[in-house]
Structure 1
Amino acid sequence: MSNVHVIDHPLVQHKLTLMRRRDASTNSFRRLLGELAMLMTYEVTRDLPLQDIEVETPLELTTGKVMDGKKLVFVSILRAGTGILDGMLSVVPGARVGHIGLYRDPKTLTAVEYYFKMPGEMQERDIVVVDPMLATGNSAVAAVDRLKELGPKSIKFVCLLAAPEGVATLQQAHPDVPIYTAAIDRELDSHGYILPGLGDAGDRIFGTQ
């Protein structure tokens, strides 16, 4: 678990608790997820490199530090990853965006890919993969497998909630990929849902069933 980072900031935990509520509306759930994603972005990007540039203040010329957002790629696992992606882009609007379409086979719980679109020159980029739930871990492993084929500089995985089973699966397959999450819940049920969890994140974001 040394490569797992639980972001326990009070604001993150407060918003997560509100999202767990069964009676939270679609609008409320979506708004809270965006806000929580923005807060998590600060921790996820903490170690990104900076470069010095000259900037002219109203009083004099000085040197400041900036991050090259174009070297950062947020990769959303469709469809639920969109909820985290929007919040992160509010903080780092210059980041590039990739999409991976995966769905979970209801019988085997394995990930099936149906879409893959990435920016060019991925060898020069740092990747942050976003998906609200790290449940079985099969989708996360499938996504990282595909992304490693492109040879990026680094990969991180960001989720709202994780199950111990999902953490173990992703760490076993990719021990070099750090996991950032707001909470690690108790377990998975027989259908592969996180308990206590917050339900199906995609359905709650988009108001579907």
Structure 2
Amino acid sequence: MIDQSNPPHLTVVDHPLVQHKLTHMRKVGTPTGVFRQLLREISQLLAYEITRNLEMTKEAIETPLCPMEAPVLDGKKLALISILRAGNGLLDGVLELVPSARVGFVGLYRDEETLEPVEYYFKVPEAMGERLVIAVDPMLATGNSAVAAIDMLKKAGAKNIRFMCLLAAPEGVETMRKAHPDVPIVTASLDERLNEQGYIVPGLGDAGDRMFGTK
């Protein structure tokens, strides 16, 4: 089921499997390997929702019994954009579901004093304006990095953009809504708030550190 109590630009996927796996990811004692596997599994479930309205067309095919006009995806292959480094955890799962997707990367890190994003890498597929673009990052906290990434994607020509994350804070959702009201957000949970360090509460800690075993 989809939680319809949230603003139109925000979809919280409250499917039981998503919520069950997310609970295990939140636990402080969940090992790195298990955390990565759970993130990959949740990303596939979120991907079902964020790709729900892909454009379709018909193709003439032959089944073992007869010819038919069958539905297939239309237009250029979608572009998955990982916001480094933690975005790669979601990227892997979505690629298992849509292996033909084109892939790009936006390198941003958060200045721990200002909480503002700093760019260090940008590489995306061609013809961005003709593709559905899905940007992925596990955490939508302050929203500053997400807004910066979407700014960069729009400058590269992207027009149809969606944002997929594991957790979102109300502050980050509002920041995104103000900066990019045309970009829908799909997440597994809208958490309570940000703390003074800009981390999502109750959250699950630093997604990148837990995914890669770093501190």
When normalised by structure 1's length, the TM-score is 0.98
Partner of 1:136: 142
Indicate the SS of the match to 2:59.
strand
Q: Which runs of 5+ in 2 are unaligned?
A: 1-6
Q: Secondary structure at the match of 1:168?
A: helix
Q: Which residue does the alignment assign to 2:3?
A: none
Pairwise CA RMSD of aligned residues? 1.0
What percentage of aligned pairs have identical amino acids?
A: 60
Check whether the contact 2:55–2:75 (CA below 8 A) recurs between aligned residues: no
Give the one of 176, 192, 199 matched to 1:170.
176
Report the Cα offset of residue 71 of structure 1: 2.4
Is 1:6 aligned with 2:12? yes
**Aligned position for 1:184:** 190
Distance 1:200 1:121 in 2: 33
Q: Deviations over 1:165-207 (max 9, x none)?
A: 0001011101111011000101111111000000100011111
Contact 2:140–2:167 (8 Å) recurs in 1: yes
Instruction: Please give the alpha-carbon distance, in whole angstroms, between the structure 2 residues aligned to 1:150 and 1:3.
Output: 23
The one-letter amino acid of 1:59's match is L
Give the residue type in structure 2 aligned to 1:14: H
* 2:119 aligned residue (108, 113, 124): 113
2:52 is equivalent to residue 46 of structure 1: yes
Aligned with 1:82 (options 85, 88, 92):
88
Tell me the matched-pair count: 209
Which runs of 5 or more residues in structure 1 are unaligned? none
Q: Tell me the distance in 2 between the aligned counterparts of 1:69 and 1:158.
A: 21
Q: Distance in 1 between matches of 2:177 and 2:155?
A: 18
The correspondence for 1:127, drawn from 130, 133, 146, is 133
Of 12-21 and 55-64, deviating more is: 55-64
- Distance in structure 1 (CA, Å) of the matches to 2:69 and 2:159: 27
Equivalents in 1 of 2:76, 2:122: separation in Å? 20
* C-alpha separation in 1, matches of 2:76 and 2:103: 10
- Check the 8 A contact 1:69/1:92 in 2, yes or no: no
Give the Å deviation of 1:60.
Answer: 1.3
- Does the residue aligned with 1:71 lie in a helix, a strand or coil? coil
TM-score, normalised to structure 2's length?
0.95
Report the residue type matching 1:158 in the other structure. Answer: M
Residue type at the aligned position of 1:153: K
Q: How does 1:54-69 map to 2 (within 5 A)?
A: 54-68=60-74
Q: Against the structure 1 CA distance between its residues 69 and 31, is the aligned structure 2 distance closer, same or farther, given a 3 Å change threshold?
A: farther
User: Residues 17-47 of structure 1, C-alpha deviation per residue, up to 9 Å, x if partnerless?
Assistant: 1110111000100000000000111100001
SS at match of 1:190: coil
Retained in 2: the 8 A contact 1:4–1:180? yes
**2:43 is matched with which residue: 34, 37, 45?**
37
Q: CA deviation at 1:115?
A: 0.1
